[in-house]
Amino acid sequence: MFTGLITDIGTMLARDQNRFTIASTYAAEGIALGASMCCDGCCLTVNACDASDAGGSIFSLDVSNETLSCTTLGAWQAGRQINLERALTPSSELGGHIVTGHVDAVAEIVARDEDGDSMRFKLQVPDQLSGFIAQKGSVALDGVSLTVNDVEGATFGINLIPHTLTETTWSERAIGDGVNLEVDLLARYVARIGATMKTRSL
């Protein structure tokens, strides 16, 4: 489980079929084998980790074909910058919102506009997910916890402040890019309960 608050930007060093190798500033001794790592919003399992010459760590993860087909990971290549977040601990501050790392779909950026020092983005989502996105609600996009500004059909807007642009990979995002979308966990269960109650009343 994660918060959507990015704590490092990693670099993909290599890809060997379904095994990805990533460099980070996290200390290697703090990453246990089997640990969960949120990589651009996808919860993946660390299967190897070593200290790097730069003082951080180099870790690898295996990615299933299912994950490759349902996220942006299928297109990742060496050199890509990746938003990283380690799993919550009992002492962690929950400053974003509860993020599972289970990506629902790939959303497409359809607009990017400067707004003072901030940047506004418009994103298009698959129609079946539009009902899970609400104005002033939360979404995770490439692992970043963000607040929805407005919703119109299957399109919604977000606003990124300078700190978020600097501390994540969002400064690189452009129109036409796909990003990993996870809708709010609460919205999922509310919709499920509503559908179940409707079925029982028929």
Q: What is the pTM of this model?
A: 0.92
Within this chain, do residues 182 and 146 fall inside the same structural domain, yes or no?
Answer: yes
Give the phi and the psi of residue 147 in degrees, each rounded to 5.
Answer: -100, 135
- DSSP one-letter string for 14-81: EEETTEEEEEESS-GGG--TT-EEEETTEEEEEEEEEE-TTSSEEEEEE--HHHHHHSGGGG--TT-E
Within this chain, do residues 37 and 71 fall inside the same structural domain, yes or no?
Answer: yes
Within this chain, do residues 117 and 154 fall inside the same structural domain, yes or no?
Answer: yes
Within this chain, do residues 114 and 144 fall inside the same structural domain, yes or no?
Answer: yes
pLDDT band (50, 70, 90) for residue 154: very high
Query: What 3-state DSSP class applies to 178?
Result: strand
Q: How many domains does the chain have?
A: 2
Q: pLDDT exceeding 90 applies to what percent of the chain?
A: 83
Residue numbers of the domain that contains 46: 8-86
pLDDT of residue 22 exceeding 80, the answer is yes
pLDDT at position 119 is 98
- Asked if residue 64 is part of any domain, the answer here is yes
